[in-house]
Structure 1
Amino acid sequence: RFPARHFDVLIALHVLEHVDRVETAIGEIRRVLAPRGRALLEVPCWKEPKINTSIDCTRDGAVDRTRRCGQADHVWRYACGHFEQLLRRGGLRCHDSREGPWPTH
């Protein structure tokens, strides 16, 4: 376990879609970030405005996770807006949101 306010920069690229308890993970990111620290987080997400909630696949088996969340090892399929809400609720601010070849944050 890292000490509180330990990191100036934290990078988690394509990690949070694999985490069962994402709120806990976001809280831990916030806890270990130094004041004015930055986190670079990237997840695959849906950008369509009509999709405003994420899909929870934490209780699904591998076949259903592949069908519902895109990969057998993904336990979340995020909607972009919902992911930003999760960050805000966890005490983080989204300073920039960009799209790559597929929608990500």
Structure 2
Amino acid sequence: MRMELEKRSPNILFVNATMDRTFSLHRKEIVEQEPPVNLVKYRWPALFMEYQVYCEFQRTTTVSLQSAFLSALETHTPKILRMFRFRRAYCGDEMQTLLDLLYKQ
């Protein structure tokens, strides 16, 4: 798989299928052996691709990472905006302009 990812245009379908088939193997290796990140990156380079991060989260939790993140962000956005409004002194001019626009909406 590492050789496939080193190609100029790797076969993503092959990478996805391989990661699906080896899920229990790489999960067991990471959980039991706790290898350093550079070794995980060498052995399982696809785990560091954005799409595979989503897939790995889904394999582990059966929840879509993107929808879970966006849902949580939607829930917490009013509190985050309120926090920024109270701490305006620490925000740059661009952030203050953006906050003013959001507040008017």
Calculate the TM-score normalised by the size of structure 1.
0.26
Bigger relative contact order (CA 8 A; separation at least 6) = 1
More strand, by proportion: 1
If the length of structure 2 is used for normalisation, what is the TM-score?
A: 0.26
